[in-house]
Amino acid sequence: MQIIDSDVVIIGGGGAGLRAAIAVAETAPDLKVNMISKVYPVRSHTVSAEGGIAGVVKEDDSFESHCFDTIRGSDYLADQDAVEFFVEDAPKRIYELEEWGCPWSRFEDGTIAVRAFGGMSVKRTVYAADKTGFYMLSALWERSLKYPQIKNYDEWHVTRLFRVGEKMAGLYAINLKNGEHAVFRAKAFVLSTGGACRIFSFNTNGNIKTGDGMALAYNIGASLKDMEFVQFHPTGLPHTGILITEGARGEGGYLLNNKGERFMKEYLPAKMELGPRDIVSRSIVSEIKAGRAFKGPYGSYVHLDIRHLGEKKIMERLPLVREVALEFAHIDPVHEPIPVMPVAHYYMGGVHTDKETATNVSGLYAAGEVACVTINGSNRLGSNSLAECLVFGNAAGVQASRFAQETALQTVSEAEVRDEERRITQLYERNGAENLSKVRESMQRTMHELVGIERNEKELEAALDAILKLQERWKRIGLQDKSKTFNTEFTSLLELENMLVVSEACVRSALAREESRGSHTRSDFPARDDKNFLKHLLVERGADGMILKDHPVTITKWQPQERKY
């Protein structure tokens, strides 16, 4: 067995992982960093972010206002100390990225341009046309190449984490190019493996967003937090789930029902289409229920109209929206409205960390969508998460490099390594009768139909029962492909196991939260209940399965009040 040692290992090469690797290289140039990613880093999901990144960069804006918008948007479940740190650090990270080559769009006067985004009281979303993630990830990737001490293990899949006592000590990974196995040891680790919305059948996420990091961390005793909160974005293209960015509404796009009415005036007249995503998505569901939506082969939808912006502005600000509408819906938004429906998009919950990204496993830090710091609480504001990747990716890198300098390399238990080797070999050799894609589809449908925008006890109980049965069926899935070179059937099997862990955590937390808050709507408990539920729910691994625990919300100066817009 190959053993690969370094000071810090970064798991994941998206926005958060790359920013963390750069932070280690900059704060402690002598440290050796290994960055592992199951895809070539610039194919990470960050590349597909469209609309922009939030930060206070204009004079009409203030830290106070960005904090308040984020906390109100979270329905008061965000930890306010984390939000304050986030808001104050975000502008520095945005300017720094520009120095590293990220071409932010400009206003006519040459200053950085900002656009409106849902739930924000002023225009504070910085962008690079509607391909923000692509430009950000390219700039981060190029910057990381400047540091020879960062070594990339691209197309390596992490299958297990190892700890020694209380401390994170190593991990097991497979080289997807040739099936070779290795143990990576280090003094500190940053988990930045992204989100998990592939657990839903209709989602905007890349195929690789399967919650691996959440399951890997849970398996070695890290707590998960806020797992019931999943964001549905109001505007996905029917069938494919491809996202039409909120930037389209930020630039002035409207939502229309089948009567041609801007229905948001009935639900949120002060903000209209620029309300937070949970409220806009629920409003679309209400229109569908009231029979005021269009019916199509892939379900009911409403219209997003940007025709009035004109071709010039659409091509300048929203070229990707036009490109994907033409390519995937055969509609030219210059001349026709775009069909849209709510789609699973972002995982608010994740691996529980403190505001400096430390998990409850010593030496393991987490940042980006896999983590739950939490600045998002029960509903994230669009454009906050790219900033979250930079702010907390940087913080995780700084913390990991400090920790690595104070600690020694641990020896991973040989028995545990052999155990993982055996498990992987057995998975390859499995000849079970169950079919991988059928089990996965069944999970995705269960989550979508029973754990979607509106939830209730009866359906959640049914979902839990279904997920537990699917976990049993997973054990009987047989592999047809036994090859060692880019065996996607094999990696899908590992990913499905992780998604079933995330799904179970989601359903159990959703059942326990008997109130409606942010993205979590319980039709049987329609009101927010601060008396009993102004708290986070942690999910931990117990001897007999998942255990739920309460965790307090940190409130600094914004006392919970009714969420009004």
Ligand X SMILES: Cc1cc2nc3c(=O)[nH]c(=O)nc-3n(C[C@H](O)[C@H](O)[C@H](O)COP(=O)(O)OP(=O)(O)OC[C@H]3O[C@@H](n4cnc5c(N)ncnc54)[C@H](O)[C@@H]3O)c2cc1C
Q: Which residues bind ligand X (CB under 6 A)?
A: 11-17, 36-39, 41, 44-46, 48-53, 132-133, 157-158, 192-195, 204-205, 208-209, 212-213, 243, 245, 346, 368-370, 382-386, 389
Closer CB to ligand X, residue 52 or residue 363? 52
Cβ closest to ligand X, residue 337 vs residue 393: 393
For residue 233, indicate whether it is catalytic. yes
Q: How far is the CB of 106 from ligand X (least distance, A)?
A: 18
- Listing DSSP states for 321-368 in one string gives HHHHHHHHH---TTTSPEEEEEEEEEE--EEE--TTSB-SSBTEEE-S
Q: How many CB atoms lie within 10 A of CB 89?
A: 17
Nearest alpha-carbon partner for 473 in 517, 508, 422, 433: 433
Say if CB 343 and CB 233 are below 8 A apart: yes
Minimum CB–partner distance for residue 375 and ligand X (Å): 11
Three-state secondary structure readout of 79-102: CHHHHHHHHHHHHHHHHHHHHCCC
**CB nearer to ligand X: pick between 39 and 499:** 39
Return the number of the residue (209 or 528) whose C-beta is nearest ligand X.
209
The single residue of 249, 277, 520, 522 carrying the catalytic annotation is 249
Q: Spot the catalytic one: 72, 93, 157, 233.
A: 233
Closest contact distance (angstroms) between CB of 425 and ligand X is 18
Task: State how far Cα 229 lies from the chain centre.
Answer: 11
What Cα–Cα distance (Å) separates residue 114 from each residue in 46, 193, 412? 20, 29, 49
Please report the sign of the dihedral spanned by the C-alpha atoms of residue 39, residue 40, residue 46, residue 47. Answer: negative
CB of 353 to ligand X, least distance (A): 13
Minimum CB–partner distance for residue 278 and ligand X (Å)? 16
CB of 158 closer than 8 Å to CB of 11: yes
Residues 6 or more apart whose Cβ sits within 8 Å of residue 334: 307, 310, 311, 314, 322
**Shortest gap between Cβ of 48 and ligand X (angstroms)?**
4
Q: How far apart are CA 391 and CA 255, in angstroms?
A: 33
In the bound state with ligand X, the residue whose beta carbon lies nearer, of 386 and 451, is: 386
| Whether 127 contacts 115, CB under 8 Å | yes
- Select 45 or 185, whichever has its Cβ closest to ligand X: 45
Answer for the pair 232, 535: CB distance below 8 angstroms, yes or no: no
As a whole number of Å, the CA-based R_g of the chain is 22
What is residue 189's three-state secondary structure? strand
Residues with catalytic annotation? 233, 249
